[in-house]
Each structure stands twice: as structure tokens, then as C-alpha cells.
Structure 1
Amino acid sequence: METQVSPNERGYYGSFGGAFIPEMMQANIAELQEKYEEIMNAPEFRAEFEQLLKDYVGRPTPLYKATRLSKKYNSNIYLKREDLNHTGAHKINNSLGQIILAKKLGKKKIIAETGAGQHGVATATACALMGIECVVFMGELDVDRQAPNVGRMKMLGAEVIPVSSGSKTLKDATNEAMRYWIANPFDTHYIIGSVVGPHPYPDMVAKFQSVISKEIKKQLKEETGSELPDRVIACVGGGSNATGAFYHFLEDEEVELVAAEAAGKGLDSGFTAAATFKGVSGILHGSKTLFMQTEDGQVEEPHSISAGLDYPGIGPALAHWFESGRVKYEAVTDDHAMKAGMELCKLEGIIPAVESAHALAALDNLDLKPDEIIVVNLSGRGDKDLKTYLDQLES
């Protein structure tokens, strides 16, 4: 099966994608579909976006050869340091891009969903920068386990609305954000934080995050003489950091792309979030994709120790890349991820987000060779996860 990098005119990657939306959302989505590429490709948009990435976010982020980690695995492991972005994760790339887009569309209010809080913080930051009202929906469970990020959002002027329905996590925050948008369709833009949702969101977010792989190619060329690594590894919940890390390598078939999914307490435990291992095709949050379902077709509650990976599905592009065989998926349990995160702290003096620790743990699942070059996308820093790490140390 041929691998698509971009969707077709109907928003499909292979058999996944599209825009399955209620009538009240039609005008908003149609406006985005009609105008997003024209706005994003305009020279003045590119100039403003790229200037902010450089001067405000701090890009390019370093590509760091992790010497002691490389020695442990007897290979050459580089970390793409998205944790060093302003706000501490890759999420700011997309939030800034979408808020410039929203201003071009004349929107006066921004809403967002968040799990780990990094997208919420990034969106609140962008709104503060641009002087736009911001409302963030967050599951009650995530409000508790990601308290530092809740505080940051409030300091930045955002209204944080806890969501008490369902599993009180990212899925439910997304549901509530979509309901709010349906009720407030004219002056509000919804900044979806991942490559999920109805077309054109998966493509839009992918393009904003593709700066990650664009930089990796340039940096590797300078470091090694070749822009192509042997493997690129990234964690996957909805999939924005993985899509960004994979994007410019998708047509380079000699590069293996590895996605680390959250296996939770185990693939067969009933407490997992590994959508490619346990999911089936269906409609979730406005697009056709792979997600975990009950026998009667309802969304199955996911579980991951990582708030950002605690989502029942993956974006439609990632579902297509799974179906086509272009991306290899590895399942990583909570315990394995926590061990890998703690190991990076001690080997390299870097505290990774628990999400990123899943990508690091995937190294144990691969048959690495001494001359290989591996890039691991370190999608975020672990400040927000200190309570989770400390609880693990004390258990």
C-alpha cells in the first residue's frame, strides 16, 4: 500500500480521515477547509510564524548526542530536545501557528483541550502573547495529576474548566471542547492540540509540527554528514509529536519510523491505551481512525500513567501509516516507561516527560546495531510529572 504524507481533497489518508461532524460545526470546518492552506502558505504568515519560532520559542531545538545512553545501548542515540522549547514541549509549535491562523480568520476567542497540560499551557501562552481570550478544557483526573500545568495556565490568564464526565481524561476534555464550539460557532476558534479531529485539523497540526523533522535532517547532516538516521522514535497518543518527528522522513523508506504506544498495565490487562494493538476502525472526534471500542461500538476507556497518552485512539494519518506498514508500533507499559524516564535522569541529567519516557523505553524493544544512528524525539520535559515520578520512587 502506498503511504500518503498528506490527505486527499476529502481529508483522507488511505481509508482514514474525513470530517464527520454535526451540522452546527459545518460552517466552522468549511471555513477552515477553504482557507487554511491559502493562509498558511502566504508569505506574511510564514514570516510571522517562523520569526516567533526563532525568537519566542527558541528554535531550532538542539539535537543532542546522549553519550552515556548511547554507551548503554552500544549505539548512537540522539535526543531531539523539544523539552527545551518555551513552555517545555513541542505543543507550542502548533498553538502559535493556529493562533496566527485564527487571527487571520477574525476570531476573538480560543478554546482548547488538554491532557498532560502541555497543549493547554502552550495555547494559554499564545493567547497571552496575542491578547486573545482563552478557555481550556481538562479532565478532572488530569487536573489533579498535572497540577503544576493547571497553575501555569491560570497564571497566563486562561480559564480552566474541569471535565467530570467519562474517565475524566483527555477524551472527555475533547468532547466538551467540541460541544462548546458547537454552541459558540462564530467568534471562537478551537485549537486542537494533536493530529486528530475532522479535516483539516490532522493536516494543519502535522504541518505546524513538521518543523521538528525538518530540523533533524539539517542537524544530522551537520553532525554526521548524512541527513538520514537509521531510526526515528517518538511516543504516540493522538500523535502530534510523532507526526512532526516522522513527517520529512516518510518518503525516505530506509529510515525506520517507530511509534511507542502506551500499553498501560499491559495489552491484555483491560487498562491500556494502545490503539493499534487493541483498536478497530470507527469514527472518533470527527474523523475515521483506529480506536479502542467495546463490543457494542462505544469508546473504551483508555489507561496510561501518562496524561498525554491517555487517549483511546490515534490520528488518522498515523492509522494509515500503521495500515500501510510505514510506521512500526511498539507497546510500552507504565512500569517500563517510568523505569526508562528515571534512567535518563541518572544517565544524562535530563528529566523527561512521562510521555517521552515511553519513546525512550521503546529502545529496549529494538535490535540495535553499534553503527546505527537513532533519533528519539524528547517531546517534553518532566517538571509537570514530578509527583508521578516521586510516587514511583516511594512505591
Structure 2
Amino acid sequence: MGQNSKPTYPTTFGPMPDAEGYFGEYGGQIIPPELKQIMDEITDAYEEIKNTDDFKNELAYLFKHYVGRPSPVFHAKRLSDKIGGADIYLKREDLNHTGAHKINHCLGEALLAKHMGKTKVLAETGAGQHGVALATACALVGIECEIHMGEIDIAKELPNVTKMKVLGCKLIPVSRGTRTLKDAVDSAFEEYLKNPKDFFYAIGSVVGPHPFPMMVRDFQSIIGKEAREQFVEMNGGLPDIVTACVGGGSNAIGLFTAFLKDESVEVVGVEPAGKGLDTPDHAATLTLGEKGAIHGFKCYNLQDEAGEPLPVYSIASGLDYPGVGPQHCYLKDIDRVRYESITDDECLEAFMTLSRVEGIVPALESSHAVAFAMKEAERVGKGKKILVNLSGRGDKDLDFVVSKLGL
């Protein structure tokens, strides 16, 4: 938006989604009638417990004493000085127990599954952070956990695979299709359909049929609530730009939600451009996707001429998904959030720069947002402040990066 242009987004954003689970024209429940009944039961259970003192107090206790919240906001001064432009700040979700933002919604989903009397929690994982966080949460509340993961991601993210096994979850390798995140979703969902009455499918992002885009957003909104308060306390005002990487979009919507009503704050989601937007090897859904349906909901997605999801790619296993959260689609359409993309090479450069300049090793997913912030800091210049959601740490990516760069 230009400095003098009038915003096209509404001054208020609630309540969203509507009763049918739509954010504008996106979201909903594109599912069989028998599954709709199960999803409605999950919705009713969530609506019933989310505002009870018992649930809120238990989640708040676990966030503080188990996860280690609030995660700090850190002024990356040496990185900012190196670039010579805007000041860059990092919301340190990488310091959470399990190493990423995923634990925020996994605790909420595990508690909900236990409340509903479910016997097993199922999920997919790409980079393994959702799998580790869910296995951790299930161990904590005492419920069986099963994680489906593509064979390519298993080989790439071995530290997280080992953690999941140690935590006691059943890991299912997925050998079909591209052997990555989209296929892991398909596999986990098929297992879920065998017994949806007793199983709980803990979706790992703000995607899938209603109520998951709403529910995961609500659990992740703690990121933005904390960051907004912390940033104002540090600087006496709001950031000029807030940004986060976007695959499915949970870490981003968690940060963005607290700033959507602030017209002075520009909000930017960063997608994976992979090997280039002019190649098939990317996962830039909001940049190049078309409206359609995938995995039980309407969204922008990367699809072929027949409307089937295309194979997608990113150096970051947690971002290679052909769809995206429905609220992101809505925010794009009303011009409230700008969506940019970062290539693999730019991601790797940001990974190494942050590691060597600030002593912080970021996840490859988060490195996309760091790379954008580095470019944007130079473009907007001194006097501006950029807040980045550092959604996860890079322990899981170290072996891959060392091999890739020949270090």
C-alpha cells in the first residue's frame, strides 16, 4: 500500500471464520457427510472448552512452565548493522520446548483430544517439527500418537525422526507420490478415516476442514499477542513491518493476527520460490496458485489443468505444500497482507548469515522470512523496524545444509 492510499481491508476482522468455517470464500468443509458430523463434534467440543477456566488455566500453565513462554523478542543489532538499513527484531519461537512454534497448537489439540475421549492422535509432518511437538504433547497427556512422514523428509530431517521415535510415537514412512508433505497428509488422512470416532487428526497448520484453520490460529495467536506487547515495551511503538514464512501458514497467522487492525503496520508473508518461480520447483501458492479445493477446504493452490494438486518443492520441508490456509487467501484478496517469495539460495544465505553474525541457527523455513527481512531492511532504510517470526531452530537442518554447502 502506498503511503497515501486508502486501505481496502475492513477496520475490524472478527468474527472469522463464519459459522460454516469460511473466511470470505475460502475454507469450509469439503468432506463426506459422515466426516462432517465428526468435524462438527470437534467444533462443538472446542467451542465448549476453549473459554472455560480449567482449559485456559491448564494451557496457560503449560505455555509458561513447560514450553517456556513468553518467548523473547531479540533486536538483531549486528545483523541490522551489517545490512545498514532498517532494524530487524526476531520473535524467538526457536527457543520454545521442541524448538518451534508447533508446540503451541499441539498442546491445545492434545488436550482437546483427551477431553473428547479419543484413543489415538494422528498427524502428518514435513520438516518433523509438528511431529516432534505432537509426540511430545501426546507423551505429556498420555495418549497414543502416530505420525506419517514422507520418505524424502525422513532422510532429510533425521534428528527429528529420532526424536519422534524416542518420544514413543509410531512413525509411518510414506513412499507414494513425491514422498513429501502432501503425500504424508493423504496417508495420515486415510488412516484417520478408518476410525474417525476414536481417532483425532491433529492437523499441523491452519489448513484442512473447519474447525482446524480457526482452532490452530487461536492456539498460535499467543505469538502475536506476546510480540506486540514486547515490541511496544522495547520501542515505545509498533513495528513498521511484521513478516513470517508461509507454507500452510500457522506461524504466520499466529504473528499476524495481533497486528491486522493496525493500519500503520505492513504485514508480509514469505513463500518458498524454490529454484525459481519460472521453474516447476517451488511452492509459491499465493503467488502463482489458483482458487480450488484440497484436503477438505477451499483455498489458493498449485494445480494442473485438471484441477489436481501439482508436485511442489522447497528446500524447507515444512513449506512444500500445494495449498495454504484459507485466512491467508482472504487476507491476500483484501490486500491486507502482501505475499512475497524467497529462493533456496537466498534462504541458505540468510541461514548462514544469521548463524555467523548473531549466533542463532534458524530453521530453513524461518530462514525464508529472515532472507526477506534482510532484503527489505536494505530497501526501506534506516529508521524503520521489522519484526520477524523466527518460527523454529535449525538443528534439524544442520546435516543437510553442511552437505549442501560442502562445509
TM over 0.5: yes
1:123-134 equivalent positions in 2, closer than 5 A:
123-134=134-145
User: Given the alignment of the two structures, is residue 285 of structure 1 paired with residue 298 of structure 2, yes or no?
Assistant: no
- Residue in structure 1 matched with residue 162 of structure 2 by the alignment: 151
1:204-283 equivalent positions in 2, closer than 5 A:
204-226=215-237, 228-283=238-293
CA distance in 1, matches of 2:113, 2:390: 28
User: Given the alignment of the two structures, is residue 383 of structure 1 paired with residue 392 of structure 2, yes or no?
Assistant: no
User: Given the alignment of the two structures, is residue 59 of structure 1 paired with residue 87 of structure 2, yes or no?
Assistant: no
Q: Secondary structure at the match of 2:50?
A: helix
Equivalent of residue 77 in structure 1, options 88, 111, 133:
88
CA contact (8 A) 2:103 2:130 kept: yes
- Residue in structure 1 matched with residue 337 of structure 2 by the alignment: 327
Equivalent of residue 196 in structure 1, options 203, 207, 210:
207
Q: Shift in Å at residue 184 of structure 1?
A: 1.2
- Residue in structure 2 matched with residue 168 of structure 1 by the alignment: 179
Which amino acid in structure 2 is aligned with residue 49 of structure 1? L
Which amino acid in structure 1 is aligned with residue 351 of structure 2? G
Q: Shift in Å at residue 14 of structure 1?
A: 1.0
How many pairs align? Answer: 394
Query: Unpaired runs of 5+ in structure 1?
Result: none
CA contact (8 A) 2:242 2:256 kept: yes
Q: Shift in Å at residue 72 of structure 1?
A: 2.3
CA distance in 2, matches of 1:69, 1:75: 10
CA contact (8 A) 2:9 2:336 kept: no
Q: Shift in Å at residue 114 of structure 1?
A: 0.3
Deviations 1:100-148 (A, max 9, x none): 1111111121111100000000000001111110000111111110111
User: Given the alignment of the two structures, is residue 46 of structure 1 paired with residue 85 of structure 2, yes or no?
Assistant: no
User: Given the alignment of the two structures, is residue 372 of structure 1 paired with residue 384 of structure 2, yes or no?
Assistant: yes
User: Given the alignment of the two structures, is residue 23 of structure 1 paired with residue 33 of structure 2, yes or no?
Assistant: yes
Deviations 1:321-376 (A, max 9, x none): 11111111111111110111110011100100000000011124422231111111
- Residue in structure 2 matched with residue 361 of structure 1 by the alignment: 371
- Residue in structure 2 matched with residue 316 of structure 1 by the alignment: 326
Deviations 1:12-49 (A, max 9, x none): 11111101112342232010122212211111100000
Q: Shift in Å at residue 177 of structure 1?
A: 1.2
CA contact (8 A) 2:9 2:335 kept: no
Query: Unpaired runs of 5+ in structure 2?
Result: 1-7
Root-mean-square deviation (Å): 1.2
- Residue in structure 1 matched with residue 3 of structure 2 by the alignment: none
Q: Secondary structure at the match of 1:41?
A: coil
Q: Secondary structure at the match of 1:370?
A: coil
CA contact (8 A) 1:234 1:258 kept: yes
Equivalent of residue 121 in structure 1, options 132, 135, 138:
132
CA contact (8 A) 2:290 2:301 kept: yes
174-183 or 364-373: which moved more?
A: 364-373
Q: Shift in Å at residue 392 of structure 1?
A: 2.6
- Residue in structure 2 matched with residue 180 of structure 1 by the alignment: 191
CA distance in 1, matches of 2:32, 2:182: 18
Runs of 4+ aligned residues of structure 1 deviating over 3 Å after TM superposition are 1-5
Q: Secondary structure at the match of 2:292?
A: strand
158-167 or 17-26: which moved more?
A: 17-26
- Residue in structure 2 matched with residue 13 of structure 1 by the alignment: 23
Which amino acid in structure 2 is aligned with residue 193 of structure 1? G
- Residue in structure 1 matched with residue 97 of structure 2 by the alignment: 86
Q: Shift in Å at residue 181 of structure 1?
A: 1.1
CA distance in 2, matches of 1:174, 1:207: 22
CA contact (8 A) 2:114 2:143 kept: no
Which amino acid in structure 2 is aligned with residue 121 of structure 1? V
**TM-score normalised per structure 2:** 0.95
CA contact (8 A) 1:24 1:182 kept: no
CA distance in 2, matches of 1:57, 1:120: 16
- Residue in structure 1 matched with residue 352 of structure 2 by the alignment: 342
Deviations 1:227-257 (A, max 9, x none): x211111000000000101011111121111
Deviations 1:74-104 (A, max 9, x none): 2221100000000000000000011111111
Q: Secondary structure at the match of 2:257?
A: helix
